[in-house]
Amino acid sequence: MTLPRVRTARLGWGLIRFRKGRYAINALIWASMWLMPVIPAVITRTFFDAATGDRTDAPTVPMLIALVVAYAIGRISVMIFGMWNDAHLMFRISTLLRRNMLERIFDLPGAQAMKESPGDAISRFRDDVDENVESFAWTVDMLGIVLFSTVAVWMLVSINALFTLAVFGPTVVVVWIAAVSRQRIKRYREAAREATGKITEALGETFGSVQAVKVAGTERSMVAHFRRLNDHRRTVAVKDKVLTSALESLFWNTISIGTGIILIIAASAMRAGTFTVGDFALFVYFLGFVTDAVFFLGLFIARYQQASVSFARMVTLMGDVDPTELVRHRDLHLTGELPEPDVVPPHLAPLEMLSVRGLTFHYPGSSDGIDDVTFDVPAGSFTVITGRVGSGKTTLLRAILGLVGSEVGTVSWNGEVVDDPATFFIPPRSAYTPQVPKLFSMSLLENLLMGRHDPGDHVAEAVAAAVMTPDVAEMPQGLDTMVGPMGVRLSGGQIQRSATARMFVRRPDLLVFDDVSSALDVETERILWERLFRDRSEVTSLVVSHRHPALQRADQIVVMAEGRVAAVGRLDDLMKTSPEFRALWEGNGDG
């Protein structure tokens, strides 16, 4: 998979501006943490010079000890406050990234929201966000490193410029190696992230298809497939880890190299009295911290490349959108009262006519879809869309509801064109039950309400209308029964009727069913339509079905063939005028 190019620095700057006050405090604290070692460095030099007689005006030993203790207490206090502020800042940054990704996914047409598998998407929400947050946290260390390095080099140069150059020459080489390795680091990280996403995807699909795997007897082949994915992931992950560890080892070993160089070149200067024991102690002391600085700098270069990969993966998940939407500033509502969700749109005048004109959509890279579909759905009517498999029935519903983005054509409500069907066709205007309904691992009642607070009698009416009352009576805890992941504890028919009850609870003007009766027996379907006509006769229904009970009750039938409207009319008229419909009715078509 080719990832888009993103401007990592621009996105990082957007994150800094999101909480610039906390970031400024963070930068000040961690810059201070890097600068504070200058104090014990001076104390160390003074102590050794006093101990060897190279200095006579040094403070007493008890005074030096007191200064070291005070420094330690101060550093620990600053570090505690810094960690507290850092934790708050990083939590907000990670929350912002996840919120913006999730909102964008919900804004995309429902049937085209994600091209990635759920497992890969989880990897981007988890691993890539964490990668970016950790890299972002290191930016304040870079500020501290610049300040500390400036002060340290100035102090060391003031003692002996030649020694300083000789000692820190290896660090320049290390930084150069890290810089030239950045493309390889980025390539290895891309491969490791992609391999991890495939593992997560395979796990999710396997757990969701246990029954299919067992029925097909493919347990061994599934395990073998998973082993191959793991082997590939291990290979690319080892490459990524070995390169990073090699750079880390190189960074850390510069302290040993530097100490050896000091011992070699400083010996003669110390014998000549131009380089004191205190100067030597100062060089060795600073060498450890400067090596840390080089280590962080080298790793930051690597992490910057890895962060660009993570940014690109997150932007890809969001679809065709300006990358800055990933870091768009939002109120996260982490404190204070939570706002009431604004999910109910203003209700226009009750539906009088739903009009579809010239609606056209094709799936990307394919000729499959619908072409120039036109028909009307009068208020209070029961309109059935029927046709062979692949004729475009489900696609038509999705295009009307905005679950896919139509290329041409309009959908109108009472003569007014709907500009954004995806946000318009939601309760209380309309409610939709797809061909394969989704239930969540919650109680049945929670699945019906989905955060709403409808009265109990409304719920009971909806359950009865969906022919679910006998089923609920047999459940261990009634409506409070947990249905399991994706409703695994319910039958296919119970899942469809639960989704239908969820739709009825919302009491919309327009009910949209996509082959909801396919998992129902004939008697249950008859009762479902009977109750719909009896209790909700004023509601407009748009139904995809090939079953006779629905077709017999239809006020009008829209016959689809090869993505186009082949005929529109009532049952009796179509039996006379439409060969395509007669074939469907008599069972000669695919249904």
Residue type at 507 in one-letter notation = R
Tens of pLDDT, residue by residue over 90-115, are: 999 999 999 999 888 887 776 556 67
**Which pLDDT does position 179 carry in this prediction?**
66
The tokens 């104090």 sit on which residue?
39
Contacts of 139 (CB under 8 A, 6+ apart): 12, 16, 300
Alpha carbon distances (Å) from 468 to 346, 458, 462:
31, 14, 9
Q: Do the Cβ atoms of 6 and 308 come closer than 8 Å?
A: yes
| Chain-centroid distance, C-alpha 524 | 40
Phi-psi region of 339 (alpha: psi -120 to 50; beta: other; left: phi over 0): beta
Whether the Cβ atoms of residue 283 and residue 156 lie closer than 8 Å to each other = yes
* CB atoms near residue 351 (< 10 Å): 20
Half-sphere exposure of 482 (CA within 13 A, CB side): 4
Cβ atoms within 10 Å of 295's Cβ, excluding its own? 21
Strands in 353-362's sheet, in edge-to-edge order, are 369-378, 353-362, 408-413, 416-417
Q: What is the pLDDT of residues 421-446, one digit of tens each?
A: 888 888 888 999 888 888 888 899 99
Q: What is the pTM of this model?
A: 0.68
Cα separation, 143 vs 424, in Å, equals 49
What is the spatial distance between Cα 278 and Cα 284, in angstroms, rounded to a whole number?
Answer: 10
Residue in this structure with the two tokens 């890539």, named with its chain if needed: 128
Cα 403-406-381 angle, rounded to 5 deg: 70
**For every residue of 538-553, which 3-state class applies, written as one string?**
CCEEEEECCCHHHHHH
Q: What share of the chain is helix, strand, coil (3-state, %, to 5)?
A: 65, 10, 25
pLDDT at 111: 54
Domains of the chain: 8-327 (1.20.1560.10), 353-585 (3.40.50.300)
Residue 386: the pLDDT is 94
Q: Which among 131, 138, 113, 140 has a CA at the least distance from the CA of 24? A: 140
> How many Å separate Cα 357 from the centre of its chain?
36
Residue 45: both structure tokens together: 């030099």
The pLDDT value recorded for residue 591 is 38
- Sequence-distant (6+) residues with CB within 8 A of 493 are 519, 520, 521, 524
DSSP three-state, residue 357: strand
List of the chain residues with pLDDT < 50: 588-591
Which residue has tokens 């930084």?
Answer: 175
Report DSSP state, residue 466: T
Nearest Cα neighbor of 493 from 469, 455, 525, 447 is 525
Question: How far, CA to CA in Å, does 588 sit from each of 242, 423, 476, 585?
Answer: 64, 39, 44, 8
- Estimate to the nearest angstrom the gap between the alpha carbon of 277 and the chain centroid: 57
